[in-house]
């Protein structure tokens, strides 16, 4: 994460992520039901940016540069109740209101917030959550709010959950704040981040592709989560619930093996763990792999990829492929012929 301060303007730049294993397990109450759970992810230099600055005319304005969208309001209440750019405007209003009460900062002068995301919308790379973190960090700095990173994460997660109308996980908030290759372990109400010191080596063995088809993470996740906590007593529902819980337990085991493989530098074991995780995950929800994405993933495997997995909740977006270093060009070429776009990145 990079923070730049220039008088009464704060600019923040944060990375997005590739979720290697254990996604969905980070959503409450599933993380509590299966505790302890492990999620492994990698921060990458496909960045998102937020810039917050005070005004003098009392207006509140957002400019989402990459989306070519903006909105402006004369009061903070009007700003928070509007329909344009709801996540950014609601999060900004919540943090400004909190700052006014806790630090006495004068928010009546108004604020301009500019954002820019360098990842495709709906790519499954945690772009919206990374942007929320960038905005929250910028406002924390600008208003001198005394909030820990964990407190900031809770606020961002609550705002996203409210607006999506469905539970959200916690894993997407850690790569923007800390970077690197990490295992996030949830146990007894706490998320413990374990940094894995192999981040400079895994880039040689990882390819990332965007399918061109946007996805929406909240609803596939909510559909699976709802089935695991459904209290219906019908036999059909009970069988579905038990089957999903068993699958999530296997995903958790695969994520734990992924963590151990990365710590040992065992690339073959890592590929096996990712392959097992994806085999189970791909059957969790109907529509997980749309036909164009399936075609690209098949091409990667036929060209020599050792394992692959969709990023995020599925239904579109991006996927990564684990390859031997000598196979990178061959796999990339094969996937490009199917219409998918390679996303070039470095570990952040």
Inter-helix orientation angle 235-264/218-229, to 10°: 120
pTM: 0.93
Cα separation, 335 vs 296, in Å, equals 5
Cα atoms in the Cβ-side hemisphere of radius 13 Å centred on 9: 9
Residue 284: predicted pLDDT: 85
Handedness of CA 325, 348, 185, 154 (dihedral sign): negative
Other C-beta atoms lying within 10 Å of the C-beta of residue 33: 15
Residue 214: predicted pLDDT: 80
Residue 169: predicted pLDDT: 92
> So where are the chain's domains?
2-195, 199-342
Residue 170: predicted pLDDT: 96
pLDDT tens-digit map of 160-177: 999 888 888 999 999 999
Structurally, what CATH architecture does the domain formed by 199-342 represent?
Answer: 2-Layer Sandwich (3.30)
CA 140 to chain centre: 21
pLDDT tens-digit map of 210-239: 998 886 655 566 666 666 666 555 555 554
Residue 59: predicted pLDDT: 96
User: Considering just the CA atoms, what is the radius of gyration of the chain in Å?
Assistant: 21
Q: Which residues of the chain have pLDDT under 50?
A: 239
Question: Cα dist. 262→44, 173, 192, 326 in Å?
Answer: 17, 21, 17, 20
Question: Contact 202/181 with Cβ under 8 angstroms?
Answer: yes
Which residue do the tokens 């997980």 mark? 288
Q: Supply 206's token pair.
A: 């990882």
Please say whether the structural domain 2-195 has been given the CATH code 3.40.47.10. no
- In terms of Cα–Cα distance, which of 225, 157, 180, 218 is closest to 1? 180
Residue 123: predicted pLDDT: 93
Residue 213: predicted pLDDT: 85
Handedness of CA 287, 292, 294, 300 (dihedral sign): negative
Question: Cα dist. 202→89, 108, 195, 280 in Å?
Answer: 37, 48, 14, 23
Q: Supply 286's token pair.
A: 């109907």
Residue 340: predicted pLDDT: 96
């Amino acid at each position: 994460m990079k923070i730049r301060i220039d008088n009464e303007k704060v600019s923040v730049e944060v990375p997005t992520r590739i979720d290697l294993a254990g996604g969905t397990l980070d959503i409450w109450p599933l993380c509590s039901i299966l505790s302890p759970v492990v999620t492994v992810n990698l921060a990458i230099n496909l960045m998102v940016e937020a810039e917050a600055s005070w005004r003098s005319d009392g207006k509140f304005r957002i400019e989402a540069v990459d989306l070519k969208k903006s909105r402006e309001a004369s009061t903070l209440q009007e700003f928070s109740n509007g329909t344009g750019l709801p996540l950014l405007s609601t999060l900004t209003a919540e943090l400004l209101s909190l700052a006014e009460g806790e630090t006495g900062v004068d928010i009546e002068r108004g604020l301009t917030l500019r954002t820019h995301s360098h990842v495709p919308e709906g790519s499954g790379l945690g772009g919206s959550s990374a942007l929320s973190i960038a905005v929250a960090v910028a406002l924390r700095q600008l208003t001198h709010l005394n909030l820990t990173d964990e407190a900031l994460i809770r606020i961002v997660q609550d705002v996203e959950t409210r607006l999506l109308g469905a539970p959200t996980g916690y894993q997407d908030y850690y790569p923007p704040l800390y970077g690197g290759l990490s295992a996030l372990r949830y146990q007894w109400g706490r998320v413990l981040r374990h940094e894995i010191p192999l981040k400079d080596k895994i880039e040689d063995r990882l390819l990332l592709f965007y399918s061109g088809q946007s996805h929406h993470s909240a609803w596939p996740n909510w559909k699976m989560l709802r089935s695991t906590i459904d209290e219906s007593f019908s036999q059909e529902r009970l069988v579905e619930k038990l089957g999903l819980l068993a699958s999530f337990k296997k995903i958790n085991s695969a994520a734990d093996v992924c963590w151990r493989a990365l710590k040992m530098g065992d690339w073959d074991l890592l590929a096996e763990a990712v392959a097992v995780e994806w085999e189970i995950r791909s059957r969790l929800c109907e529509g997980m792999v749309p036909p164009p994405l399936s075609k690209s993933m098949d091409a990667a495997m036929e060209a020599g990829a050792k394992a692959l997995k969709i990023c995020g909740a599925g239904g579109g977006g991006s996927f990564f492929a684990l390859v031997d270093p000598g196979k990178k060009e061959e796999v990339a070429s094969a996937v490009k012929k199917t219409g998918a776009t390679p996303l070039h990145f470095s570990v952040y």
